A and B are shown apart, each in its own frame.
Chain A
Amino acid sequence: MTDWILFIPELYTLAAVGVFFFLCLCRARPGRDYAAAMVLSAGGLVLTVCTAGFEGLVFEGVYQVDLYSQVFKALIYSGFFLTVCLCADLSGVDKARHSEFYLLLCLSTLAMMLLASSVHLLTIYISLEISSYSLYVLVYFRRGYPKGAEPAFQYFVFGAASSAVMLFGFALVYGAFGTAHMAELMGQVPARINEPLVFTGFVLSLSGFFFKLAVFPFHFWAPEAYEAAPHQVSAYIATASKVAAIAILVRMIAMTGGQGDRMAWVLIFLSVASMTAGNLAAMAQKDIKRLLAFSSVAHAGYVMIGILCANAMGYAGAVFYGLSLMVMKFTCFMVVVKAADGGRNIKTDALAGLHQRAPVLALALLLALFGLAGLPPTIGFTAKLLVFKAAMDQGLLWLVIIAMFNVVISLYYYLGVLKAAYFIAPAAQPRAIAVSLPFRLLALAMIVFMVAGGLYPRYMMALAGAMTAGLFP
């Protein structure tokens, strides 16, 4: 008999989806929908944190509840909650569709939670698809976007192609081993990972997760989708979605037991290409959301360094990196949401005079950008230190040097944004940015978190280490 208690956070989220579905059937009332979303997402976050200690297998062993998955669920829920916090002014979305917006967001969250616990190739596939389909639709929710459905359609086509390739890879893996259970695969894969069939199957299987993480060359959807989507959806894609991708990617790579040089080289290539392509492309961007999209591509490369090391510190580093990325990216989008009028896109220049218009937001942005650049004393520095240390333990000095070259490149465009916020005087009298007290507290919380993660990361690092300890065969 299934131990349903282990499934409580998911059941709660499913119930929340039901509530939003019911609200969709009622008359549109944005204030009510927002309040419901706040309450339900906060409740879900609390519930997920409270169940972080649960452990066990559900549904005939295809669904594993452990510290690793529960903490990731908490992170995904945090992403959902934080995104909802940005929805007080959801002016980029039609008022009549607010409840649908929250429904899809919640559904995607549920799917990502399922993804974090899935230990069977089929459940992984289904979870990934459900989470992606919600996002394809959400990208199209932007009211009056000039390019219409094109970016969403592009996102869908790329996603569908990646899914197809991934499914083909799953089929090859299943063909090679005769099982789709990760627990069983874990015992057999390390010894056979260099066989052409298994290697090909694995590389193809990973494409779906690379797509979600926007790893080069699976990243082409990212700048278009980020630009076209409502800001809150872009924030969600940049935070919760990335965390979910890291969760499953680490689990999949851990299945190889760190064996297989060819696999390592594939990952190294993708890492270097992502870092370099992402950073070089970001240098040319003026639209902040596009810039953040390309920066996400670059960060996918840094995360990959931790993952490809396939050692304890590497996995812990990747998990820590996911957490830090979520906070820093969210902070950037928080500023974008506040600085943009009526949900329109903004260019870097639009941040001119931000330090006078909203000092707390400017400070938060400064720390987030420093963190994204990997400068101390921020959480982003600690994250980079962890993945680089893992790479050094594997003797990959040259890879770290390449990564550090990329860090310097990235500084150029991060400082460009910072310059606009602090040093450029606005051309005309700028719109005053009204930052409510709760929003100010949220910004302060992000500031504290980013600094604490840089100055005193030992407990967060210990948690990341404890989470990934169970991934080894």
Chain B
Amino acid sequence: MQMHAAQFPFLSTILLICIFGLALVLVLPKNSNAAVKWVSAACSAATLALSVFLFAAYDRGAGGMQFVERLDWIPSMGISYLNGIDGFAAPMLLLTGIVFFTGVVSMWELDFRVKEFFALFILLVIGVYGMFMALDLFFIFVWFDVSLLPMYLLIVIWGSSAREYGAMKLTLYLLFGSAMILPGIIYLAAVSGLETFSLPALVENASFSGFEQKTAFLLFYIGFGILAGVWPFHSWSPTGHVAAPTAVSMLHAGVLMKIGAFGILRVGMFLCPEGWMYWSPMMAVLAVIGIVYGVMVGLRQTDLKFVIGYSSVSHMGIVGLGFATMTVDGINGAVFQMFAHGVMTALFFSAVGHIYDRTHTREIGELGGLSAVMPAASGYFVIAALAGIGVPCLASFWAELLVFIAAFRVYPALAMISVGVLVVNALFMLRVVRNTCFGPLNDRWAHLKDMRFAMGMPRAVLAAAIVGFGLMPFLMYDLIQTASVPLIHSLGQAVGFAGPESVETLFTELMSVWP
């Protein structure tokens, strides 16, 4: 694993900005709601700016781990504070920055226990950022848990329907996942005999047996997979989404679920290539069941948040299918999908949150014709829905295309089932859009006003990201490629895996039309 030391600790700066912001929010007087919001907004804007900078400054020619920082933490156990980003982590940092900023602005109208909300929200984001940049297994686990714990409080205090049930279910599920990850991490550190928790050191120097890799990968797959919404561990997800307040739903479905998928990738696939290969057919089957299940159950839902919740299960299934193909295209598509789904689902929840704040209902049957009175809000809802069904020129289109190109080669039958089901989903989503935004206007909503510019701004940022990366997918693709190619190459070296031909795809040909 090629590593480039940092000239300046940009990654730690992101964490420090968040920690400073959190401290500032905590020391502000209890009733200074405006100040709390401005501090949170400034903190999120600063981290977004740094995330954009890192995304742009990542040297795509050099590849490998960049902006690497290291500090000994517990030398006796080989634990160090080790950060770095590669082509997989940089898009996730950007995603976190976008969703953090837009989430804070989306909650601008909050007036109940404001200080606590934003403090917990920033704490959650610290865990998320930390998880995406950490390269030490100990810290990966710590950040993972730090990102989970505030979720319970955020849902219980500020959530809506069945919040206590949703929060407890979510917390127990996710912490059960973390209870699987910890043994896996310690197991690998112990059997390596290297007395280190450093992921690069273990990847480079450890030699794990087939049994060890299969065992550890299974633990990681279950542990991280629960958070990624892998079927059958997904059932916390729709319940949690529905119970959570808008910004938390955005962060939850937009970023937190990606932590799960990222964990499988970063820890499971990097450390246990043989385990990955062994379990990949099972991963593919579970992913496709997730895709089908998410769509089919979503069809029966009448609550908008449940619709998005189940569609998230389905979309995360696409990520799982991409991983299971063990090809460059599949991995590229999966990581692209993680980003695209993150932004898209954040926009979805943000739009639904706004509609709910105005109408106090999320029942599809009670809505209708909203575009007549709320054209901007409806517009964002429509963009999110179109992204959800993978319309060309939106980011998710490229992601799904790549995954299915790979899946048709490796698992043709499963790919066919998935594509067929996604067509059904597209029809259903269009019907949801029609019943919500178009058609005759329900008289109850005739008095509603459209969102102000300030409230529309976060939605505009999310929509811009969806459209921008849809029109210029190479910005993302080239970056992910710098990590996926070496990963698949090292897989070939590690386990003698000769996967299907995975370069020079339709995608690269399509990209060649760009200057």
Contact = CB atoms under 8 A, between A and B. Distances in A.
A376 B142 contact: yes
B189 A375 contact: no
A7 B248 CA distance: 59
A59 interface: no
A392 B145 CA distance: 21
Interface in A137-173: none
B506 interface: no
Given A370-B149, A401-B183, A411-B171, A423 B156 contact: yes
B152 interface: yes
A404 B172 CA distance: 12
A465 B176 CA distance: 30
Given A404-B179, A422-B153, A385 B76 contact: no
A388 B145 contact: no
Given A377-B142, A404-B180, A415-B152, A462 B186 contact: no
B190 A392 contact: yes
A458 interface: yes
A404 B183 contact: yes
Contacts of A415: 152, 168, 171
A458 B183 contact: no
Given A389-B189, A392-B189, A393-B190, A461 B74 contact: yes
Contacts of B157: 422-423
B179 A397 contact: no
B20 interface: no
A389 B142 CA distance: 15
B253 to A, nearest CB: 23
Contact of B187 (A377, A397, A456): A397
A397 B215 contact: yes
Interface string A368-400: 001000011100010001001100110001001
A419 interface: yes
Given A392-B187, A458-B75, A408 B142 contact: no
B175 interface: yes
B76 A400 contact: no
User: Chain B, interface size: which category?
Assistant: 20 to 34
Interface in A77-101: none
A412 interface: yes
B426 interface: no
Nearest to B212: A397
B146 interface: yes
A422 B158 CA distance: 13
B45 interface: no
B152 A376 contact: no
A405 interface: yes
A260 interface: no
A371 B75 CA distance: 23
Interface string B211-224: 00001000100000
A457 interface: yes
A413 to B, nearest CB: 11
B186 A400 contact: yes
Contacts, number: 77
Contact of A376 (B146, B164, B219): B146
A333 B156 CA distance: 26
User: Chain A, interface size: which category?
Assistant: 20 to 34
Contacts of A405: 179
Contacts of A392: 183, 186-187, 189-191
A407 interface: yes
Nearest to A382: B74
A339 B152 CA distance: 24
Given A389-B190, A422-B153, A412 B172 contact: yes
B76 A389 contact: no
Interface in A402-436: 404-405, 407-408, 411-412, 415, 419, 422-423
A461 B76 contact: yes
Given A377-B142, A408-B179, A462-B76, A389 B168 contact: no
Contacts of B186: 385, 388-389, 392, 400
Contacts of A393: 190
A87 to B, nearest CB: 33
A348 to B, nearest CB: 14
A309 to B, nearest CB: 11
A116 B49 CA distance: 57
Interface in B138-196: 138, 141-142, 145-146, 149, 152-153, 156-157, 164, 168, 171-172, 175-176, 179-180, 182-183, 186-187, 189-191
Contacts of A389: 77, 186, 189-190
B53 interface: no
A458 B77 CA distance: 9
B408 interface: no
B183 A388 contact: yes
Contacts of A423: 156-157, 164
Nearest to B141: A376
Given A400-B183, A404-B179, A375 B145 contact: yes
Contacts of B77: 389, 461
Interface in B61-75: 73-75
Nearest to B171: A415
A4 to B, nearest CB: 36
B334 to A, nearest CB: 28
B25 to A, nearest CB: 15
Contact of B179 (A376, A377, A407, A457): A407
Interface of A: 370, 375-377, 381, 385, 388-389, 392-393, 397, 400-401, 404-405, 407-408, 411-412, 415, 419, 422-423, 456-458, 461-462, 465
List 9 tightest A-B contacts by C-beta distance, closest first. Answer: A392-B190, A404-B179, A376-B142, A400-B183, A392-B186, A408-B176, A458-B74, A376-B145, A408-B179
10 contacts: A370-B149, A381-B145, A389-B190, A392-B187, A392-B191, A397-B183, A404-B182, A407-B179, A411-B175, A458-B74
Given A408-B176, A461-B77, 13 more contacts: A370-B149, A376-B145, A381-B145, A392-B191, A397-B183, A400-B186, A404-B179, A407-B179, A408-B175, A411-B171, A411-B172, A415-B171, A422-B156
